Every structure is written in C-alpha cells, then in structure tokens.
Amino acid sequence: MYRKALNRALQSLGYFFTKKELREIVKDYDTDEDGTISFDEFQELVYDLYDEEEEEEESEEEEEEEEEEEEEEYEPINTEIPISTPTSPAQGSSKVIKKAVFIGINYPGTSAALRGCVNDVRMMKNLLEKRCKMKILTAKIFVDDKKFINRTGQPTKKNLIDAMKWLGSGNKPGDNLFLHYSGHGSQVKAQEDTTEADGMDEAICPSDYSTHGLIIDDDIYKLCVRYLPAGCRLTSVMDCCHSGSIMDLPYNFTGSREGIARARSGGNVTTRGSEINKNNPSGTVFMLSGCKDDQTSADTCTSTGEAGGACTLAICAALGETPKMPLIDLLENMQQSLAAERYTQIPQLSCSHTLKSKQKFSFVGA
C-alpha cells in the first residue's frame, strides 16, 4: 500500500503520524524498496508498534510504583495553619482533560445494527492520548462490546444520563472536559421546546432506546452544559444523524463551501443559530457534528476494512496529520474529505459563543 492507504490503515488502529514520520516508516519497512508497504511489512510494523506500547506501559507502571513508594515514605509536617491544595490538576493545563465520556453504540443483534461506532471510540481516545499527547484523568467509556478494554458499562439511557450529569457538574474554572458520541441520532416533534426553529428536537439513541426512549437535545444541554462555570471548557464530537444542533448551543457554523468562503473573508466564524434559542451558557462549549439537523451521517469503513463513522474518520485523519489547525482549515478538510468519498453530509460547528475565523482548533483551552 502507498503512504495514503498506509496512513488510513494506521489511523483505523489508533496510530497517527505526520507526513515526515510516514516517509521514515516506509523507508524503514519497505524491504524490497518498491516504494510501498506490503501486507507482511505492514504486519511487522504493527507488531513493532504494539511492542513499543507495552514497553511504554511497563515504564509508566514502574514510575507510578516509584512515586507511590516516595509518597509512603513522606511524612507531612504537622501545622495548625490550614494549607490549601490545587482544586484540580486540570486547572491551567492545556494538555490535561479532567473528565471525558466516550460513547459508541453498534446495536448488535437489532435491525438498527451499525458497525463502526465502537471503533470510533477507540480511534478518538487514541487520537487524544497518542497523537495529541493529552492526559485524561478520568474517562468513562460506554460501548456495547463487553470485550472493550476499560469499558465502564453498557450505553443504556440511565448510564448515559448519569455519565452526562457527572460530566457537567462539579467543575471549576480551568477544567477541560470532553464528550464523544457515535451511534444513531434521531428527531422527534418538540413538545414544550421554544429553541427549535423547525419544531423538532434532535436526540441520541441509547442502546435500550426501543424500550426506554431517546435523550433529546434539551436534556443534553441541561446535563452537560447548563451548569458549567465560566472558564471551564467542554469539547464535544457528535457523530450521528441529525446532529447539527444536538446540544442546543446558541451559535452555529455550516462547513459548506459557501460558509467556508464567507468565513475566510474575516470576522466571526459562528453566528447565532436562531433568535428562538436563548441559551446563554457560562462555560466555553465547542461541538463538531457530522451533519446538519436534516441530514444523516454515514457508517463507513477505511480502505483496509476497518469500520467507523464518516465524521470521526474525517476528524482523526485531519487532526492526526496536524493536531492543532485553524478551525476553518479543519472544517474545510472534513468537508472535502467527505465530499471526495461522495457523502452528502456537511459537518457542523456549534459553540457557546462567537469564534474568529483564524482561531485554531484545540481540544482544550479557550
């Protein structure tokens, strides 16, 4: 396989490399010097990567054991003066995510079965930790695959509501949070909602939605966004159908060619999505979604057959190459990537506030 196919194959396994690093990989593993990587050469590369991971994990475990031994030997000084301690290691850190929730639902054994949503969680988590070099202090993972390593539980409605409530509460200025959802999305007629211009609520579908119902955008906003304090940052990726305004954020941007062209002329990227939406969160919230409210998002696969959501694959491909790029470049990259694969879905950007066209994408920070 050539470098482009190799890059996609590695990304589907959760490994992200720059163009320069890929050239070095081809140089090191192309034993027959034909400019491509054969299947056997690819297998050797993957085995080497696995070995490196195991060595890193063993090294980290040894360091943690040494730190624990040092802590046990340390005796704190007794004092009558109360000493305050940092409220959270995430405060003031651009490389630490305090809390993260990952949700991937394949609905196996049902008529609504998908293939790539659990793998999306694996890819997104690896993107954050391995390519973007971020430390996640506490992660809750809800996937309907019992073999998934470090799984928190099934993605039932109750579990997802509890996880979102945990994510959106007890936070402080400087905390960085992350939410990723990959699964089915839906629309239902709004009952008591005055924030929807089209009269429809967008919703996510838990694994038990057929018996326990959906989680609508009003509730996602109340659970994840409403109680965030000023100075707290939540970044969200929602890879599902009808996801354009699925967090009910007040400012929107459409990643179409026309929208990107207008944004490149300068000024703000985002505009208030609807005068009806009066939500005004204190925290900073940033959401990338796979499509507009009236569109569907595709469940697809890479050239090597690894399943995944089109939106998640596009984000991982873009940020895997350049972890921190201007927002407009990211959206244009995603739009072009999806259009090249003949997908009609148009990625969306929603925010709690206006964003400038030259502002760089970041999973954390202001």
What are the beta bridge partners of residue 143?
104
Catalytic residue chosen out of the listed positions 117, 224, 241, 311: 241
Six token digits for residue 20: 């320069």
Angle of CA points 198, 312, 137, to nearest 5°: 105
- Of the candidates 180, 174, 192, 187, the residue with the CA atom closest to the CA atom of residue 224: 180
| Annotation says 301 is catalytic | no
Angle of CA points 215, 216, 217, to nearest 5°: 130
- Of the candidates 4, 6, 11, 3, the residue with the CA atom closest to the CA atom of residue 323: 11
Phi, psi of 235 (to 5 degrees): -110, 135
- Of the candidates 207, 138, 130, the residue with the CA atom closest to the CA atom of residue 175: 138
Parallel/antiparallel/unpaired status of strands 215-216 and 135-143: unpaired
What are the beta bridge partners of residue 51?
none
| Annotation says 212 is catalytic | no
Catalytic residue chosen out of the listed positions 117, 184, 240, 311: 184
Are the CB atoms for 290 and 240 separated by under 8 Å? yes
Q: Which residues are catalytic?
A: 184, 241
